[in-house]
């Protein structure tokens, strides 16, 4: 049995008799379910790398998605990120958004 399927079955407390059932149909169903579940979990959390722009303001780039936006202030950036997510996914699913502010400093010592 595929390790991911076994992990999934264990995590949702399927009885031992079902876990040991090695039917291809059950394995195929569980594999597809696991892939769909993983896709659902991953798509409900989006991490953005936020950097200060050289021209002023901030830019935000999503990791794993083709989402990019910019704004003059952090407050405006939060609004722009929400709008960009709505445009990208075109649905009403609530997602967790993490903004990781990256600040690079260069100096001599």
CA distance 51 to 53: 6
106: confidence class by pLDDT, cuts 50, 70, 90 = confident
Residue 87's pLDDT is: 93
CA distance 46 to 99: 9
Sketch the domain layout of the chain as residue ranges: 3-41, 44-102
Q: List pLDDT tens digits, range 60-70.
A: 999 999 999 99
Q: Which CATH number fits domain 44-102: 3.10.350, 3.30.160, 1.10.3470, 3.30.2390?
A: 3.30.2390
Residue 11's pLDDT is: 53
In the numeric block, the tokens 């989006």 are attached to 46
Residues whose CB is less than 8 angstroms from the CB of residue 52 and which lie 6 or more positions away in sequence, other chains included: 58, 103
pTM value? 0.60
How far apart, in Å, are the Cα atoms of 2 and each of 5, 26, 30? 5, 11, 9
Q: List pLDDT tens digits, range 8-62.
A: 555 555 444 444 555 566 556 555 555 554 455 556 899 999 999 989 999 999 9
């Amino acid at each position: 049995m595929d390790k991911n399927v076994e992990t999934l079955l264990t995590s949702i407390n399927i009885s031992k008799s079902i876990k040991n059932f090695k039917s291809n149909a059950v394995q195929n169903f569980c594999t597809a379910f696991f892939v769909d579940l993983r896709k659902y979990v991953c798509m409900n959390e989006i991490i953005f790398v936020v950097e200060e722009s050289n021209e002023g303001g901030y830019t935000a780039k999503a990791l794993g998605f083709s989402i990019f936006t910019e704004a003059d202030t952090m407050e405006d950036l939060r609004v722009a990120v929400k709008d960009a997510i709505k445009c990208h996914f075109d649905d009403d699913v609530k997602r967790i958004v993490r903004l990781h502010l990256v600040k690079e400093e260069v100096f001599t010592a």
